[in-house]
Amino acid sequence: MILPAVLTLGQPTLVNGQAKQAYEVRIVPNEAEHRVDILVDGKPFTAYIYPGGSLKKPVLYPLRSASGTIVTRGFPLEPRPGERVDHPHHVGLWFNYGNVNGIDFWNNSDAIPAKDAGKMGTILHRKIKSHKNGSGRGELEVVMEWVTATGKPILRENTEFIFRAGPDMRAIDRITTLTALDERVVFTDDKEGVIGMRVARQLEQPSDKPEVFTDSSGKATKVAVMNNTGVNGLYRSSEGRTGDQVWGTRGRWTTLTGKIGDETVTLAILDHQGNPGYPTYWHARGYGLFAANPLGQKIFSNGKQELNFTLNPGQSATFRYRVLILSGTATPERIENEFRAFSATRE
């Protein structure tokens, strides 16, 4: 199925010639279980979860298409047969960074050796600021803090999620404002960042060789060759690059298309023209990490560019991203139209 050229986010649609009301999006906080469920017409879309323990930052998990197909990896929270078990810090959809004043917020998990724990940061949920149900659209605003291993907060995060639903479509806007607290905060150039998702095994790109990926501290993670049956994902960037050629290049948006069971799914992450470091570099790996990183320019440009984005005490910066989950394929022209519409927004 090829999707239409225009995405009607939350708009009424025609069913057999009759106007259909937009889908009801409900935001259901459950503070006792440290989660907020997002429902569309009473069915689960995703959840904002902040259980603590092994999960070192709040995430959206899992993500589903309009038909209910789960498009994110289950490991480490809910492992599924046949999926990869590397990078235990890759959970659902998240936002963090690998080097903030020398602290690593990206790689933190219970798999970190005790000797390295002091180098790791944690993002803590502090409160639900507001939530709103709606027809075709729901909103959730939360407050978090980025804290060091000693428990000292260095950043306050205010994030607004806007969840939208329509036929064959789910969408998430993440609008994140980071504010430096009582010290200067430097996002030292690093490849690990900033908005990322870990996709289901079927949406990975087929691989015929083992690989080793090294983080900024030199820690290597081996990614083994696996059975590629049913694995059929393919990246495409706004600049026309495909597959592994997308990694380490700039672009306004990138898509990942593949088939899960009988359903073809297109995931897209859209950058925003107002974001720091626009247009973003893409940290998009064939093994299933789909991430946009505007702040880690040195490694992606082979040293030709360097940002070291800095916030002075009390200074803020806002990052806006839209994530699309589309049932079917989408042309580059369609995604470009979505990008233009999104970049025109300031909400």
Average pLDDT, integer, range 243-261? 98
pLDDT at residue number 227: 84
Bridge partners (DSSP) of residue 125 are 144
Average pLDDT, integer, range 298-314? 96
Residue 14 in any domain: the answer is: no
Structural domain count, the chain: 1
Residue 72 in any domain: the answer is: yes
pLDDT at residue number 213: 62
pTM recorded for the entire structure: 0.92
pLDDT at residue number 12: 45
What CA–CA distance (Å, rounded) separates 89 from 232?
24
Residue 326 in any domain: the answer is: yes
Residue 115 in any domain: the answer is: yes
Of residues 320 and 216, more confidence is placed in: 320
Which helix (H) or strand (E) element contains residue 336? helix 332-343
**CATH number where 160 lies:** 2.70.98
Residue 158 in any domain: the answer is: yes
CA angle 63, 68, 70 (to 5 degrees): 40
Residue 290 in any domain: the answer is: yes
pLDDT at residue number 11: 46
Q: Is the pLDDT of residue 196 over 60?
A: yes
What confidence tier does 10 reach under pLDDT thresholds 50, 70, 90? very low
pLDDT at residue number 193: 98
The per-residue pLDDT for range 25-65, each reduced to its tens digit, is: 999 999 999 999 999 999 999 999 999 888 999 999 999 99
Strand order in the sheet with 137-147: 122-132, 137-147, 153-166, 169-180, 316-327, 263-270, 253-260, 234-237
Name residue 153's amino acid.
Answer: P
Q: Is the pLDDT of residue 14 over 50?
A: no
What confidence tier does 4 reach under pLDDT thresholds 50, 70, 90? very low
Q: Is the pLDDT of residue 177 over 60?
A: yes
Contact (CB, 8 A) for 263 and 65: yes
What CA–CA distance (Å, rounded) separates 290 from 255?
9
Residue 4 in any domain: the answer is: no
Q: Whole-number mean pLDDT of the chain?
A: 92
Residue 203 in any domain: the answer is: yes
Could you tell me the residue range of the domain that residue 218 belongs to?
A: 24-77+88-343
Contact (CB, 8 A) for 168 and 327: yes
